[in-house]
A and B are shown apart, each in its own frame.
Chain A
Amino acid sequence: MTEDSVLDELPGDLMIWVLIVSELLVFGAGLAAFLAVRITDPAGFAEAQDALHRTGAGINTVVLVTSGALAAWALRLREGARRGAARLALIAAALLGVVFLWVKGAEYAAKAAHGIGWDTHPFYTFYYLLTGFHAAHVVAGVLVLLLVAWKDAPRNIEAGAAFWHMVDLVWVLLFPVIYLLR
């Protein structure tokens, strides 16, 4: 006789949830530290933030949540035995991840062209650290999406999509704190 555990309620593998919680704690600590340091120089942080492209970051948010939707649809399609459509959805999700990185790269290039580096102001130290670490997760996520498009067992797609949703979740918290709070 098996005993029901509340852990069994969790969709997908337990370890992906351990990863999701770990990542949320790391990025959460970074965002809290960012706002704590801002208390010492709110005017300097506001001035530094004005050099960011808020609309571009907003568009990137739309790109990422759309990519997340495609990854979620891919799992549903695969569970419905529509393998080809699931693979296409995963590849499209990965391509949108590349679009996100391309916009991010353009953003970094524009900062560099204006002589803005990680040591220009504490704002930019956090900006490069947090958005750079997130971008590294996007790179990993794109590779994971392509991997599970290839090795497309439903369990693989579920784990890969969950990783991608974690990247999405971190961004929807990071975006307003770094780009929008004035």
Chain B
Amino acid sequence: MLADPLLRAWLWLIGLSLGSTAVSLWYWPPSFTALAGAVVLVLAWLKARVILARYLGLSAAPFWRRGFEISLALFCLLLLGLYLAPLAA
């Protein structure tokens, strides 16, 4: 049954969602807060990839899948930069 890509996608999304919530609820020493934030954003990007590929069907359209994934990766990098900016000040 796990051969079903849709079922696998759903399980991945559940795992990634619970994982990012757990990372956020975990106590991180102040010097590791930025790392935790980066992990949360990477997990968000992974979730978005799964939704695009499996729910929205872009796995069958490699050109568009690559375009969306790169755009989303750049957007998540922008968010990470903005998130880390107060630490650099």
Contacts and interface: CB of A to CB of B under 8 A. Distances in A.
Interface in B45-81: 47-48, 51-52, 54-58, 60-64, 75, 78-79
A151 B54 CA distance: 24
A169 interface: yes
A177 interface: yes
B10 to A, nearest CB: 4
A165 B6 CA distance: 13
Contact of A6 (B6, B24, B36, B63): B63
A175 B47 CA distance: 11
| Binding site secondary structure of chain B | helix
Nearest to A65: B13
A169 B51 contact: yes
B24 A68 contact: no
B79 A55 contact: no
Contacts of B75: 28, 32
A182 B82 contact: no
Which of the listed residues A166, A176, A181 has the most CB atoms from chain B within 10 Å of its own CB? A176
A31 interface: yes
B82 A35 contact: yes
B40 A180 contact: yes
B54 A10 contact: no
Interface of A: 6, 9-12, 20, 28, 31-32, 35-36, 38-39, 42, 54-55, 57-58, 61-62, 65-66, 68-69, 71-73, 76, 161-162, 165-166, 168-169, 172-173, 175-177, 179-182
5 contacts: A61-B21, A69-B10, A168-B51, A172-B44, A177-B44
Interface of B: 6-7, 9-10, 13-14, 17-18, 20-21, 23-25, 33, 36-37, 40-41, 43-44, 47-48, 51-52, 54-58, 60-64, 75, 78-79, 82-83, 85-86, 89
